Chain A
Amino acid sequence: MGKSVLLIEDEPNIIEAISFILSRDGWTVATHSNGHDAVGVVESTLPDLIILDVMLPGKSGYEILREIRELHETQGIPVLMLTARGQVKDREMAERAGASRFMTKPFSNAEVLEAVRELVVR
């Protein structure tokens, strides 16, 4: 069984595409699509990597990330943040919140795969 990735994103077709790409590359992919209980899902599944969208219904990706970084069990999990805004300020906010990597939409499949492979050594 491959290393696990938790994809937290609310756009169904992006979820489907990224899940497909990563599954084909040997990753075990779980998905979640709202911000409300995302931290609880992270705590219960303890994935090897989290791909986290910034704009989520219920709670922003930044808030979720900060909470993940405050919990002992989850603070070390690498997080790849996805956002539609690529300004320096957004990148800095992601870094301050504790993001391991920041990726601006629209990204290519190859970029996602490369980032995931770099963030988790298999």
Chain B
Amino acid sequence: MFASLQNPRHLAAQIMNFGLVLSTAFMMWKGLSIVSDSPSPIVVVLSGSMEPAFQRGDLLFLWNRQLLSETAVGEVVVYNVKDKDIPIVHRIVRKFGHGDKAKYLTKGDNNVADDTELFAKGQDYLERSDMIGSVVGYIPFVGYVTILLSEYPWLKTVMLGIMGLMVVLQRE
């Protein structure tokens, strides 16, 4: 089982392989990011404010280009509030004006009130630049792993450990 550890050439190849897998994943993520023009083209739903359509752990695909038409009322967008780093997935319910200066108001389908309370102090509306994309595709449940990982940090260590061990011990 530990034969690979005795052969440094083999070990080096395994480490190389591991690096290749990681960089391929990273390249695919960044490639998708360029195609969709979004810093985060795939997001995991973290809250229940868009239930029953989106639940915690569901995977959303984002598109951030406005090729055919401008982002409009009714679209579900992901935005970041100024100075806060939590992406929020909500639906646009109001839009005033057009272009870069358009003012947007959002609301979660499952929430009673709109998002004015969530915005930064003195901020009444969102701008297009606050958004990182609008939702176009949906896969249920797949993202739940990431919620588990962030809620139970020790799982991260365990998984990384297992992955590293497997790759190193694995033979061609």
Does B bind A?
A: no
Chain B interface residues toward A at CB < 8 A: none
